[in-house]
Each structure stands twice: as structure tokens, then as C-alpha cells.
Structure 1
Amino acid sequence: MSAKGKKRVLENPEDSPGTPEKKTRTTKTNAAKNTKSTEKGVNGKTSDKATTSGKENKLNGKTSTANKDKKDNTVAKENGISKEKVDKSLSKIKVSHRSHGSVMKKGVVLTCGEGDVGQLGLGEDIMEKSRPAFVELPDPIIQVAAGGMHTVCLTDKGTIYTFGCNDEGGLGRDTSVEGSETRPAKVDLPYKIVQVSAGDSHTAALTEDGKVFAWGNFRDANGSIGLTKSGIEKNPSPLLANEVVVKISSGVDHLTCLTDKGDLYTLGCAEQGQLGRLAECFTNRGGRKGLENLLKPGIVRCKRYKSRKLAKFSDVWTGQYSTFVEEKETGDIYGWGLNNYYQLGFADMENRFAPERIESFCRGVKWDVINGGQHHTIALDTDGKVYCLGRADYGRLGLGENCGEKSEPTLIPGLEKTKCLHVDAGGCASFAIDENGDIYAWGMGTTKQLGSGSEDDIFVPTKMVGKALSTRNGLCISGGGQHTVILAQDIPNTNS
């Protein structure tokens, strides 16, 4: 088979023999390769060492301004509001949330891992980087988000730059010029953006006025399901026009939107329960109600613990196939979605299709961040301590080579002596940044996204080093499907 015809298979979230593969993507380079042979795991589960790739299908030319405006109006009306009303509403309110712009410090972007579809932002000729490398961008960056095979960067001016795989519109811009997807380019959005999120094939943006725009595609085990009722969206499309949203967060194929009222809306794939608002019988392409049941943002409802009152939420986080929220009044953590390796914190390995209070997260610890990979979760408390739970293979928990699965948050000994400010998870990898700006990485090394200079797995938190980091401190980090994106800040020169 030619290099162009080679494929990588996205590991199945359920990870059990006999389950159909979720999807494939075709690459145009010979970089596509299997990372390790499939292995049997606990209870017959198979290895998740396989990685994803993508293809670089080009959009068919630039859309004219007239056509774009017509399309924006059509999509806006389908979401219950005209484009003119969207524009008018955007001038009313300024939203804020502790998550906006990460730590709100300006920095530069570094990438490492596999870049065979341009997700490293280093041009057509660079297919991989085993150490972090500098990415040229025109403005300082305040947030980065790594999708499955694309990258999103938010500037201090509120503009967005994207690069990587655009076969399903995840970049939100035209890439008809050969190689244009491999370098950062601006997304055309006439609003100031304060937060971005990215999934496998979609990207979302939150404006300073609390409006959400998204583009790309959601997929399930059977293939594409679209992003809106109109299907795949290759340009930014408005969502939730009548709500003021304060935070967005993306899983692989689902999107969550937290409003200023404490309500949570979800949309996308529901197969593993990650939307938290559909009974299991309706999660396969919306059941008899169809795709609109999945793609129209719907509110998640649950009652507070030992109360008849409906819960309101103050924060939301996502794993690849899961969702976590913080209840506003008590700080309790609720979760739903895939739990086949205890990654939600429930000890029964059953998926959750509706919000449920997670006892293991409600034992007096206050949580700052909870992020998830495919089969594991990493969490940061307000004291800067890092915890993990879920699947242990390939070192992703950071608890050593011989540890087993964990069904509740477990303190990582290798980080006990340092205060961490940021954590994140790739599919099979974990990351942390401490108060000194040191970056730690551990987990599966095959895709080089640990930035260690090799493809070896790392079983305990290990400091990331390299030329690009020798004069910079880490601010935040985002793990993608097979690459990692770092926001770093230059260390002031004290000798001058």
C-alpha cells in the first residue's frame, strides 16, 4: 500500500474485543505507523497504544464575502437568532471566569510530538519533534488548545490562529493552498475571543460577551454526525444565541458550555454518556429523535445531593469521553461518561449517562482542575497537589511501572514536594507545570508528545527539557491526540 493510503485507527473508547473501530483517517505522508502491537489488558481489554492520524483534504477555494455572510445568516437563524441580533447582543455584557486565558500571562508557543498533518505548526517538511520547538506567531499568546490532530492558539488581542488537520473543518479557515494548514493562520471572527477549546475534529470559541462559536465536526462509532443540523461546519457558526456563556470545554467529540446562571449545555456524541442528558436508549445517533437530539445544545439537569433543588454549576471540565462539573453551593463534584477503567472515580466500571455525585472527589479536597485522557483522569487541588485515577498502562498515572488501576483520586508522590499550577492529559499521557515554571510529563512516549527526546514510556513525573525550554518557563500545556502544545514565557535576563 502506498504511503498515501496508510491509515491510523483511533483507539476504541470502550476498548473491548469485538467492538467496531470508532473511525479512521487517511494521511498523505508515510509518517502513519502503528505504535505498538495490540495487547490484552485487564478483564480482556485491549491496548490503547495505537494513535491517530489524519488527512489533509483541502477546502474548495475561498468562500466569497457575500456567500459567507449568507451562510452565517442561515446558520444563525437555524440556531434561533439572526446575525444582526447576534452582533447587537455582543455589545451588552462582559463575561469572566477563572479559566479564561489560562493564567492570563502572555507567552510563546512550543510544540512536540508527531506532526504529519501539520499540527506542530512548523511547516510541511517537519513531521515530528521529540523535543519542544518554537512556533512562529505574529502576536503574544494567552491560551493554547490541542485537538486530536490540530492546534488552536488564542492571542492577547482576542484573535485565533489554527494549524493542523483540516479534513473536517477543524481549523475554521481556508486551506486550499498547498501546505497552508501546516503554518499558523488567522480564523476570521470579528469578535474578541477570551477562551478556546478543541476536540478531535472540532474547535469552539467564547467571545468576551458570552457568545459561543464552533466549527468542524463531531463523530461517533459509525462516522460523521455533523456539528449542527446543517452538518459539518467549515466556518465559525453561532451556538446558544440566547444564553450568556462563561466557559467552554471540549471532549474528543462533545462540547460543554457553562452559562452565567450556572446551567450547563452539552452537544455532540453521546455514546458513552458524555452529554449527561440522554437516556442510554437515545445515545445512538439520538435514537428515534434523530441527530437533532445530539446537535442542538441541551441543558443538563440534576438535583443537588440530598436535596430536591436543581443543582447549579460553577465549573466544568472534560475528559475525552467524560464530563465533570463543580456544584455551585457545595463544591461537590459530579461526573458522567465513560468509566470502563474507573476514570470517573466510581468503583463499579459502569458508564454514567446522567450526572452523579462522585464520592471519591467529595472528601474535603477543593479542586481547581480536573482533566481527562481516554482512560485516565488527572486532577489538581487548590493547594497545588496533583492526583490521578483510571488506567495505569504505559505510566499515564505517574505512580510507577508496577501500579494498577485506581478508582479514586490518588496523590502522585513524584510531585508532592512541589506546588503545581496547571495539569492536563493527552490520550495516554499526563502533564503538570509547577510554580517555578518547570514542566513535567509522563505516560506513553511512542508519539514523542512527552518531549523527552525518545519514544520510551515514562512511569513517573519527569521534567521536560530542551533548547527551547532552557530560557523559558511553562505557563500552560495541552495534550492532543499525538502532539503536545506548550505556552511558555521567556525568563527575564537578570545579568543585563
Structure 2
Amino acid sequence: MSMFAEQLEEWSCRGTQGQIHMEDASPPSQGVSVKVLEATLLSALKMLDVGKWPIFSLCSQEELKLIRQACVFGSAGNEVLYATENDEVFVLGMNCSGCLGTGDMQSTIEPRRLDSLCGKKIACLSYGSGPHVVLATEEGEVYTWGHNAYSQLGNGTTNHGFVPCQVSTNLVNKKVIEVACGSHHSMVLTSDGEVYTWGYNNSGQVGSGSTANQPIPRRVTSCLQNKIVVNIACGQMCSMAVVENGEVYVWGYNGNGQLGLGSSGNQPTPCRIAALQGIRVQRVACGYAHTLVLTDEGQIYAWGANSYGQLGTGNKSNASYPTTVVVDKDRVIEIAACHSAHTSAAKTQSGQVYMWGQCRGQSVILPHLTHFACTDDVFACFATPAVMWRLLSVEPDDHLTVAQSLKKEFDNPETADLKFLVDGKYIHVHKVLLKIRCEHFRSILNNDDEIIEMSEFSYPVYRAFLEYLYTDNIRLPPEDAIGLLDLATLYRENRLKKLCQQTIKQGISEENAIALLSAAVKYEAQDLEEFCFRFCINHLTVVTQTQGFAEMDHDLLKNFISKASRVGAFRN
């Protein structure tokens, strides 16, 4: 078994654990400047959550933090392309048919850089079953590589493409704004509303009027000649286009009724779906052999294959006409499907995500409410294969939530109206927030307070406490967390007390174990006391040789020896 195959075996055992969350990042060390903290926060906000996709377990945390765009593809989700914040492009995975674009067919568990695409700024990406990849840049250039037995790369040959090559034939002076791939054919949409296709055409999926494969891009005309197309999509062997007035045009394979024409005959040229007369469609999405559309009123219509319930109609009967899909009573704002899967998903205006169809091998025949926040997660966790239905990107939005804004304002002298003087240093805070967050401050703070001197606690401890009120997190080494535990006990902050205990448990060592045990006893933290005691017993030889043990309080030492004896620590 190859190293890569072994890694895949490990993924299958691991499942979909390991989600990346902002809170999971290790906190900066004490003393980091506010500006650095703000930069860290903004960086975390722009971090792409790819933790549900097993292939990313091959990347280090440092690499994951830099990812801004990603697409997992391949017959089993075994390939990935991603772009970083510096517009560098990397790939890793099985490399079937040279689909990683690295110039060879070698699989890799280490990210490999695609120099030819670095700095290009990816706008959109799609992939076929071979797989082959079609990518468009923000400049509107098109690059293809991978499987090419049916000329799906558009370069006029049937030779596999091992490196990304620009497709220029008939696309010169055209800016491509959207790309779509079927199993072995490709389609692009230009900024002036024209559609170009190429590749496999056994069922008329390139819309040329014949069934001959098309080796280079050619414009799809017929009924689309004078239409401005605004959206495109591909099923395995069919193609769809939405024009600016909301009409939907379809062509290609129709054996399961996926064209929505009321028949099962293939269509070699674009044909308007008459059953949608009077309905203004905004988006179309294609599964393996089924189709979804979203109207301007937030309604979904579906048709085509339905053996897994992917139409969401409550049964498993195919439908050759558009059928209404009821997703609760909420307005739908996004639909999702992928030509390699029998899964459907939708997101409503209130942010709820629904899924139906083939979900982890089960048939879900009606839209099922999930706990996900985005449709991408449906395909990561429930679709087969677990590939992405679109290029996943971080939204270019620096908007901060209320909680994030509060974090940003901690110790900001420009907006603060109160200063704590601790160990000769100031900590800038906001009276109203302290009163809202802490009962202690609610009772002692006055409107005319400007500076409060604090001598009961050290600067690191009191700063960590005030920062906790802004962030719900503490940033202290375990030794200082003892002092914070004292403060939490005095101020009756029970949640803070638990966080301190957790920090101490995570930072215990042979050198500090006795000090932490003493603190646990002093502050009557019984669970922490038991934890520290057990640690001392497990490392008894080294712990008894430390300075902390030598300086141990007499009564505590007496109790420690007695308790250790009872658990058999001194037996030979």
C-alpha cells in the first residue's frame, strides 16, 4: 500500500473531525501588543474553515491559516487546489490523470506550488470526472489541465494536460466570468453573456447540434444567439444556461428527465424550458442527473433523476417537469448541487441550511434541516464523494461582529473612559462594559471615576481579568492563573474560576506541580486539587526533588504524605 493510500485509510477512520475554529488557535503569549492582537484577530477572521475536508489533515496549521480559496475534487475527494493570502497556488493529492497540474502523475502528501498560476488571482474553478480542471482568473483568462481523452481541455488534442495551459482559441479578447464542467465536457460564460463549450458530446452536451466531440471552444448559438446569459451549470452529460430575463435553456443528455422538457429524449441544441413560463429564475445547479433552479422569489424547482430523493419532493420518482420543492416557509437564497453527487442543499434567508438526496448513503426524500452554517459543509460531511460544489472562498469582508469589536477595543486609550493603575502601568477599559459583565464593578464603579489604583493583584493577573471581560478567554501561564483563580474566587466569577482551573491543568509540570497543588487547596478548588495530587503521585520521584516540595507548607506536606500513603504511593 502506498504512503498516500495509507493516509487515505487513516482519513476514513478519522471521519470529519478536526474542524478549524477561530477559538482553537493558540493565544498569543502575554505581553503581545494590542496591534498584534488586532492583526491576529483579523487574520483569523479571514481564515478559511476547511477542517471538515479530510484531505486538509495533510497540511500543517501554519499552511491552513494562509488559505483563502480552496477546491476539493476528484473521484473520492482525493485532490485539492488552494490559493493563499499571497495569491500563491498549491495542490496535493492523488494526481489522477495529472489533474494536479504539477507536470507529472505522482501523488503527493506535501503541498506543491503551481508557479504558472501564482499571482493570477483565481475567480472561479470547476472540474470533471476524469478529472480535468477548468479555471478562470479575475482577468478573465482560462486555464485547463488534467484528463483530456475527449478534448475537454479545449486545446485541440486528446493528450492529457500535465500543467495548466491557457485556452485562447475563440476566447481572445473575451473575459470569462464563470466556468462549469460536466463529466468530460467544459463550458464557460463571458462578461458579455456568451457561452462557449468544448469536449465530450455523445449526447449533445456541447450544444453544437451534432454528437461529435468538440476539440476547441465554440460559442453556443441556436436559441442563445441573441440572449445574454447570466449563469451556467453542467450535469454529468447535460448543460444549462439562465438568461437575463430569467428563462432557462437546456441541452444534452435527458435520459432521466434532467432537462425538464417533459420528455426523455436528448437535446443537441439549447431549448427553453416552457414549463417555467412566467417564472423568473436566478440560478441553476446540476447534480449527477438532476437539476435545481432558484427563482427571484426565493423558491426552488427541481426535476430529473430521483432515486435517492434528490429532488426533495417526498418520493423517489423521477420528474421530467419542474416540480416545486418546499423548504419550510422561508425564502431560499442559495441552492447547491454537484455533477458528481446525488445530493442537494439550500440555504434560507434566516441562515438555515437544508439537505436532501443521497446523504452518507441514505436517501433523504424531503429537505432536512441541518446544524450547518453553509451549504459547503453538507458536501463535506454527507455527499459521496466528499468534493466541493464550488470554489470555496473567504468573503472579502472585514466587518466585525459585536463580540469581535469588543475584543478589538480592550485596552484602547482612544475610546476608554477608565484606567486601572497596576504596578505602575495603565490598563484602559470602558465603565459600561465592566458594569454589564461583572457584578463586582456594578457595585463599586462611579460615573466620576477616571483612575483606579489596584494593589491586591499583579499587573499580568489584573490585565488578564479585564481582558477576560472583553473576550471570554484568558491569556496567562498556569503560575499566574493561580493569582487569577484567587481573583475569581474573591469576585465570585465562577466561569472564570473554571477557566483558571483548566489553564492550570493544561500547564502543570513536575516543577510547578506542588505550587499548583497548594493553590488548589488554598482556593478550595477540589477538582483541581485532586488533579494536581494525582499528577504529583504519577511523577512522585521527580516532584519530591523539586524546590517547591522542599518549601512545602508543613500542614500541606503532612496531608500530602498521609494521602499519598493511603493510595499506596510509597509501596515497594
TM-score interval for Structure 1 and Structure 2 normalised by the shorter chain: 0.5 to 0.7
Distance in 2, Cα, partners of 1:341 & 1:295? 27
Cα pair 2:72 2:388 within 8 Å, conserved: yes
Q: Which residue in 1 is equivalent to 2:133?
A: 203
Distance in 2, Cα, partners of 1:360 & 1:159? 46
Q: Which residue in 2 is equivalent to 1:393?
A: 307
The SS at the match of 1:444 is: strand
- Per-residue deviation, 1:166: 1.0
Q: Which residue in 2 is equivalent to 1:413?
A: 326
Cα pair 1:145 1:197 within 8 Å, conserved: no
Distance in 1, Cα, partners of 2:107 & 2:234? 34
Distance in 2, Cα, partners of 1:237 & 1:310? 31
Cα pair 2:327 2:354 within 8 Å, conserved: no
Length, aligned pairs only: 349
1:159-212 deviation per Cα after TM superposition (whole angstroms, max 9, x unaligned)? 5444433121222226777642xx655432142222222222111221222111
The SS at the match of 1:215 is: strand
Distance in 2, Cα, partners of 1:430 & 1:135? 33
Distance 1:310 1:179, change over 3 A: closer
Q: Which residue in 2 is equivalent to 1:356?
A: 271
Asked if 1:299 is matched to 2:230, the reply is no
The SS at the match of 1:457 is: strand
- Per-residue deviation, 1:386: 2.4
Q: 1:144-223 maps to which residues of 2 (within 5 A)?
A: 144=71, 146-149=73-76, 150-154=79-83, 158-173=87-102, 179-180=108-109, 185-188=112-115, 189-190=117-118, 191-200=120-129, 201-219=131-149
- Per-residue deviation, 1:248: 1.4
- Per-residue deviation, 1:266: 0.7
Larger fraction in strand:
1
Distance 1:176 1:169, change over 3 A: closer
| Structure 1 gap segments, 5+ residues each | 5-26, 33-104, 125-133, 287-293, 449-454
**Amino acid corresponding to residue 165 of structure 2 in structure 1:** S
Distance in 2, Cα, partners of 1:166 & 1:268? 21
1:429-456 deviation per Cα after TM superposition (whole angstroms, max 9, x unaligned)? 11222334433222223xx3xxxxxx43
Cα pair 1:108 1:135 within 8 Å, conserved: no
Larger fraction in helix:
2
* Alignment partner of 2:186 out of 255, 261, 284: 255
* Alignment partner of 2:231 out of 308, 315, 319: 315
Distance in 2, Cα, partners of 1:341 & 1:261? 32
**Amino acid corresponding to residue 482 of structure 1 in structure 2:** P
The SS at the match of 2:275 is: helix
Distance in 1, Cα, partners of 2:401 & 2:369? 21
* Alignment partner of 1:458 out of 338, 354, 364: 364
Distance 1:209 1:111, change over 3 A: same
Q: Which residue in 2 is equivalent to 1:85?
A: none
Cα pair 1:420 1:435 within 8 Å, conserved: yes
* Alignment partner of 1:340 out of 231, 237, 255: 255
- Per-residue deviation, 1:245: 1.7
- Per-residue deviation, 1:367: 1.9
Distance 1:365 1:146, change over 3 A: farther
- Per-residue deviation, 1:269: 1.0
- Per-residue deviation, 1:246: 2.1
1:20-61 deviation per Cα after TM superposition (whole angstroms, max 9, x unaligned)? xxxxxxx957989xxxxxxxxxxxxxxxxxxxxxxxxxxxxx
1:351-375 deviation per Cα after TM superposition (whole angstroms, max 9, x unaligned)? 11111111123x2222222111122
Cα pair 1:320 1:427 within 8 Å, conserved: no
Distance 1:393 1:204, change over 3 A: same
Asked if 1:483 is matched to 2:409, the reply is no
Asked if 1:365 is matched to 2:279, the reply is yes
- Per-residue deviation, 1:350: 0.6
**Amino acid corresponding to residue 409 of structure 1 in structure 2:** P
Q: Which residue in 2 is equivalent to 1:228?
A: 155
- Per-residue deviation, 1:157: 5.1
Distance in 1, Cα, partners of 2:80 & 2:107? 18
Distance in 2, Cα, partners of 1:145 & 1:236? 17
The SS at the match of 1:298 is: strand
**Amino acid corresponding to residue 290 of structure 2 in structure 1:** H
Distance 1:442 1:254, change over 3 A: same
Tell me whether 193-202 or 485-494 shows the greater mean CA deviation.
Answer: 485-494
Cα pair 1:376 1:388 within 8 Å, conserved: yes
* Alignment partner of 2:58 out of 105, 114, 123: 123
Distance 1:296 1:475, change over 3 A: same
**Amino acid corresponding to residue 210 of structure 2 in structure 1:** A
* Alignment partner of 1:110 out of 40, 50, 57: 50
Identify the structure with bigger relative contact order (alpha carbons < 8 Å, sequence gap 6+): 1
The SS at the match of 1:108 is: coil
- Structure label with greater radius of gyration: 2
Q: Which residue in 2 is equivalent to 1:474?
A: 374
- Per-residue deviation, 1:143: 6.1
- Per-residue deviation, 1:225: 7.3
The SS at the match of 2:227 is: coil
Q: Which residue in 2 is equivalent to 1:290?
A: none
Asked if 1:424 is matched to 2:337, the reply is yes
Distance 1:176 1:413, change over 3 A: closer
TM-score after normalising by structure 2? 0.54
- Per-residue deviation, 1:279: 0.9
Distance 1:112 1:464, change over 3 A: farther
The SS at the match of 1:353 is: strand
- Per-residue deviation, 1:310: 3.6
Distance 1:198 1:138, change over 3 A: farther
Distance in 1, Cα, partners of 2:114 & 2:184? 21
Cα pair 1:475 1:489 within 8 Å, conserved: no
